[in-house]
Amino acid sequence: DDEAKEVVRRLFALKRAPAVAGRAAFLEDYDIALAGQLVAGCDVWVNLPRPPQEASGTSGMKSVLGGGLQLSVLDGWWAEAYDGANGWAIDGRVDPDPHAQDWRDAHTLFELLEQQVLPMFHERDADGIPQRWVATMRRSLMTNGPRFSARRMLREYAERVYVQG
């Protein structure tokens, strides 16, 4: 459809922008094998589900454990995990017109990338350290690492299912 083509066109235009050139890629044929490689070294995990259809968001959860920051629609796990200082969020309101919702979400995505995410990523102190970026990574790990881990899940299962059962 035309809106999706426009989003892809803008992504490729952004990819050629001097501040982004060589630092962004569009990956086709995404699958579980590729996901495993991506979450291991991803700086920003962008996830754009159509609310309320995000089942859980396990890829985003995995990227948090590797220090990746989230930029996602407030749906699924990110609606629970986002605290305003541990990544970036796109409003999860459901619009009766899906095309209007896609347009609004795309506009917000580009606004966040251009005005917040990319400037913070490239901002360095005198030693070349991205202090604000690192602080946001730490915040994300601190707030979400323990909450979205297999250890916590197994402990909850043990407490709720096996101990009470």
Domains in the chain: how many in total? 1
pLDDT in 10s for each residue of the chain, 165 residues: 677 778 778 877 887 888 777 777 777 777 878 878 877 878 999 988 888 877 777 778 888 888 899 999 999 889 999 999 999 999 989 999 999 999 999 999 999 999 999 999 999 999 999 999 999 999 999 999 888 777 877 887 788 888 765
Domain CATH number, residue 75: 3.40.50
Q: Where are the alpha helices (DSSP H) in the chain?
A: 2-16, 32-40, 58-65, 77-81, 98-112, 118-122, 131-144, 150-157
| Tokens linked to 4 | 């999706």
Question: What pLDDT is stored for residue 165 in this prediction?
Answer: 56
Q: Which domain range does residue 19 map to?
A: 2-163
